[in-house]
Amino acid sequence: MTMTAASELAANADDLSVWPASTGRLPHGGLAVGGVSLTEIADRFGTPVYVLDEGEVRARCRTYRDAFPDAHVLYAAKAFLSRAMVRWVAEEGLGLDVCSAGELELAVTAGFPADRILLHGNAKSPHDIEAALRLGVGRIVIDSPSEIARLAAAVGTGGAQKVMVRVVPGIMAGGHEKIRTGTDGQKFGLSLTDGSAQHAIARVLHQPRLELTGLHCHIGSQITEVKPYVAAVRRMVGLMARIRDAHGVVLPELDMGGGHGIAYRPGEPALDLTALARRLRTELVASCAAAGLAVPRLAIEPGRAIVGPAGVALYRVLAVKRGGERVFVAVDGGMSDNPRPALYGVRYAPRLIGRRSTAEPCTATVVGRHCEAGDILAADVELPGDVHPGDLLAVPVAGAYQLSMASGYNMVGRPPVVAVDGGTARLLVRRETLADFRSRDIGG
């Protein structure tokens, strides 16, 4: 290695662009988030541990409200949900988008108004539908033809449920093929191309127990360009105009979903929220004017873009293997608390914290402790060459789709979540323990 490589590692370590805005440097290579030392959090709560910056979450909620003042902004709960997160989102004036009775009941029991909740799901269970109707959710998104009769029957006589129909607009967008949902040939929604969306809409309009308030589409996830959203708006308004012509109904709402991309590593692109808001509004107004339609109320569903950059994962190094050109740095977590690298090939930028190293950098692969060759948290990343067991690694942009997708693999137990704000840290979700596993196993 050359001094240039060492200088480059130092420069990268100095780049906090993807970290929470509250992140500050401490002596001896330490970092603080929300005014709390990450090293102290690791010592106090153990590792692995997820740190969530409350101020960052709230600021991102407000940024969305400011960018879309006339729209209904719903936080996508699948990214991460806890009772504290429910409270923050509610206090910042956002709605909530849930995908199951579990997410719904946690939100409502934590005090979230049910009429500000929208229920998704490509295969809603009877329990999902029963809970939604019992608790009084604001909207249910119909995702398949079979749901229409099931939902109408569950509403019963004398009642009515507000619904939307999820349309597949035929737009390809998203950071990975497994998270592209705007095209035909995947499990979500009803196709605009083959007419199934139009047929479902006609059926809903003939159900007196269902009130169709608008259309919904979600074209994918981790999208960093505005253009696909603009194209989707144009197609959705075109469908709304055809509904008006065929049925004499002008729908008052249009939900364009979420999928707003963020940067996981310095230098990566992220969706320009200001540009998105401006161009969506411009296209919506222009398309409606051309079609002679009243402009519907827009709704959007950010999840990752609100909570992702607010989270930091902390791991302790357990082992380092050096052989040939390969360096493996094994930590005390892995795919049981973050399966995303194995699922989508997501890349992160882990950083050594808690001590300052002057060693030459090495290219290392950060791996987990699980019995899978694919248990890799970060491949081919630059770390100090003297990285060793006991070191602490911090991974930024860890707030979304990590703990919410965590598993019980190898019975390691899911990590706790610690909120930081104003120089204090508090436990939001405790660590899963062996006692938790034992309590569920009632066989003998």
**Active-site annotation holds for 371:** yes
Distances (CA, A) of 442 to 134, 295, 436: 31, 56, 12
Proportion of the chain above pLDDT 90, given as a percent:
86
CB-neighbour burial class of residue 17 (10 A; exposed 0-12, middle 13-18, buried 19+): exposed
| Average pLDDT of span 287-295 | 97
Look at residue 352 and tell me whether its pLDDT is greater than 90: yes
Q: Considering the entire predicted model, what is its pTM?
A: 0.93
Question: Contact at 8 Å (CB) between 50 and 313?
Answer: yes
- Cα 285 to chain center, whole Å? 29
Share above pLDDT 70 across residues of the chain, in percent, rounded to a whole number: 93
**pLDDT-wise least confident of 12-16, 112-116, 206-210:** 12-16
Domains for the chain: give ranges and CATH numbers: 3-53+309-440 (2.40.37.10), 54-307 (3.20.20.10)
Q: Which class for 190: exposed (0-12), middle (13-18), buried (19 or more C-beta within 10 A)?
A: buried
**At how many degrees (to 10) do helices 83-91 and 101-109 cross?**
70
Q: Mind listing the pLDDT tens digit for each residue in 167-176?
A: 999 886 555 4
CB 212 within 8 A of CB 189: no
Q: What are phi and psi of 72, to 5 degrees?
A: -95, 110
Q: How do strand 417-421 and strand 424-429 relate by DSSP bridges?
A: antiparallel
Q: Residue 90: pLDDT above 90?
A: yes
Average pLDDT, the chain: 93
Contact of 5 with 379, CB cutoff 8 Å: no
189-201: pLDDT as tens digits: 898 888 899 999 9
- Write down how long the chain is: 444
Q: What are phi and psi of 65, to 5 degrees?
A: -60, -40
**Per-residue confidence band for 377, with pLDDT thresholds at 50, 70 and 90:** very high
The answer to whether residues 114 and 338 touch, using CB atoms and an 8 Å cutoff, is no
Dmax (CA) of the chain: 77
In the predicted structure, residue 58 carries a pLDDT above the cut 60: yes
159 pLDDT band, cuts 50/70/90, is: confident
Q: What is the pLDDT of residue 359?
A: 95
- pLDDT at site 209: 96
How far is 164 from 141, CA to CA, in rounded Å?
Answer: 5
Q: Three-state SS for 100?
A: coil
Q: Phi-psi bin for 42: left (phi > 0), alpha (psi -120 to 50), beta?
A: alpha
Place of tokens 């892995």: 334
- pLDDT for position 17: 96
Cα–Cα distance, 417 to 260 (Å, whole number) = 24
Q: Which of 61, 217, 288, 371 is catalytic?
A: 371
* 311-323 and 326-331 beta bridge pairing: antiparallel
**Does the pLDDT at position 288 exceed 90?**
yes
105-133 tens-digit pLDDT: 999 999 999 999 999 998 999 999 999 99
